[in-house]
Amino acid sequence: MRKAPLAGRSILIVEDEPLIALDIAEGFRSAGASVLSAHNLQDGLRLAGHPDLSAAVLDFGLRDGEGTALCARLKDRRIPFVLHTGYQHTSEACHAGVLVPKPTAPAELVSTVARLLASEEASP
C-alpha cells in the first residue's frame, strides 16, 4: 500500500474565500496532511507560529491586509510556502515562496507543496 504523500505533515492554509479554503483543505487531507485553516491575516499570523507546521499555502490579498507579515514570519521560521493569489506582484518578503496563480486545482497545490518539502529535505 502506498503512503499518502503528505502523511504526518501539518499544512497551514490562509484563504479568505470559504469555498476555496474548503476545497484546498480537502485536497491536503486527502494527501494525508493535517490542516490548520485561517480566513484572515491575524489568524494566519497566530497559526504560523504552530510548532509542528510543515508548510503553508497563502492567499496574499486578504480582506484584512496583504500577507507580507505572514510571508516574513514563515521565511524567518524557514517554513516553505506557496502563494496562491491573483496578485501579479508581491512584496520582497514573499520572494522565498512559490507563486501559483489563481485559479488552481487543489491537486496542483498539493503536488507543489509536496515538491517543496521534498526539496527542503534534500537540501543540506
Residue range 45-99, pLDDT digits in tens: 999 999 999 999 998 888 888 888 898 899 999 999 998 877 665 555 566 668 7
Asked, for residue 3, whether it belongs to a domain, the answer is no
Asked, for residue 38, whether it belongs to a domain, the answer is yes
Model's pTM, two decimal places? 0.89
* Range of the structural domain that residue 47 is part of: 10-118
Per-residue pLDDT, 1:
47
Asked, for residue 123, whether it belongs to a domain, the answer is no
CB 112 within 8 A of CB 96: no
Q: Could you tell me the pLDDT band of residue 26, with boundaries at 50, 70 and 90?
A: very high
3-state SS, one letter per residue, for the chain: CCCCCCCCCEEEEECCCHHHHHHHHHHHHHCCCEEEEECCHHHHHHHCCCCCCCEEEECCEECCEECHHHHHHHHHHCCCEEEEECCCCCCHHHCCCEEEECCCCHHHHHHHHHHHHHHHHHCC
Asked, for residue 30, whether it belongs to a domain, the answer is yes
**Domains in the chain, number:** 1
Edge-to-edge order in the sheet of strand 98-101: 34-38, 10-14, 55-58, 81-85, 98-101
Asked, for residue 98, whether it belongs to a domain, the answer is yes
| CATH (domain of 85) | 3.40.50.2300
Asked, for residue 34, whether it belongs to a domain, the answer is yes
Asked, for residue 124, whether it belongs to a domain, the answer is no
